[in-house]
């Protein structure tokens, strides 16, 4: 999984700073972290696997929507950046703790994932912030990553209308959110 991610990353993302960003990721728990505490891909390596799934789903959707000439709309680099990196806000975000569970009448300790957010900056906006520390994003890439949670985004729940304008003007925002939904809800292993 890690090598598929790195191969896709290196084959598609060539802009200045991309090497530094990958180096940063390799020094975090990106390749071992889960994708959630219990909902989707809640296992070691789940975050990397989810990122790969969202990337391939996004590529599929873009081709479905725009056909052979999809690269007139988006570069392969943009698709790789938003697909592979949309959730890097989850780096150094989960920790493992132990809890007591009853197994055949006796108590035993089992590990479980819980959130310990070391940089509480939000979700999509946090991914944009982290990426921007290493390389520049185009406005469209930043918007797509920023709003990839769609209606689940806390700002949207709080009443922000910016997302509707972003979805209205920038098809990549709609496509990335859809790819994230399809990957998380229809294709990944789900917990309770």
* CB of residue 129 to Fe ion, shortest distance in Å: 14
- Backbone phi, psi, residue 88, to 5°: -70, -5
Closer residue to Fe ion (CB): 19 or 178 = 178
* CB of residue 179 to Fe ion, shortest distance in Å: 9
Query: Which of these segments, 15-23, 55-63, 82-90, 133-141, binds Fe ion (CB under 5 A)?
Result: 82-90
Question: Of these, 87, 141, 153, 188, which contacts Fe ion (CB under 5 A)?
Answer: 87
| Token representation of residue 116 | 């310990």
Query: For residue 45, what are the CA distances in angstroms to 32, 91, 120?
Result: 4, 12, 22
Burial 173-186 (b: 16+ CB within 10 A, else e): bbbbbbbbbbbbee
Q: How many chain residues touch Fe ion (CB under 5 A)?
A: 2
Query: Which of these segments, 55-63, 65-73, 81-89, 100-108, binds Fe ion (CB under 5 A)?
Result: 81-89
**Contact status: 180 vs Fe ion (CB under 5 A):** yes
Closer residue to Fe ion (CB): 101 or 154 = 154
| Token representation of residue 44 | 């070691």
Per CB under 5 A, contacts with Fe ion among 135-154 are none
Burial 104-137 (b: 16+ CB within 10 A, else e): eeeeeeeeebeeeeeeeebbbbbbbbbbeebbeb
Q: In the complex, which residues of this chain contact Fe ion (CB under 5 A)?
A: 87, 180
């Amino acid at each position: 999984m890690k090598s598929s991610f790195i191969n896709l990353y290196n084959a598609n993302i060539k802009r200045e700073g991309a090497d530094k960003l990958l180096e940063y990721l390799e020094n975090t728990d990106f390749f071992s972290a889960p994708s959630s505490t219990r909902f989707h891909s809640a296992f070691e390596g789940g975050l990397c696997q989810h990122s790969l799934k969202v990337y391939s789903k996004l590529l599929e959707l873009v081709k479905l929507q725009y056909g052979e000439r999809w690269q007139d709309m988006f570069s392969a680099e943009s698709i790789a950046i938003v697909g592979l990196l949309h959730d890097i806000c989850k780096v150094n975000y989960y920790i493992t703790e132990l809890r007591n569970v009853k197994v055949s009448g006796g108590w035993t300790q089992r590990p479980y994932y819980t959130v310990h957010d070391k940089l509480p900056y939000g979700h999509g906006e946090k991914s944009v912030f982290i990426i921007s520390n290493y390389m520049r994003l185009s406005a469209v890439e930043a918007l797509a990553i920023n709003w990839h949670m769609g209606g689940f985004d806390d700002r949207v729940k709080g009443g922000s209308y910016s997302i509707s304008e972003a979805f209205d003007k920038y098809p990549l925002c709609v496509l990335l959110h859809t790819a994230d939904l399809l990957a998380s809800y229809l294709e990944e292993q789900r917990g309770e």
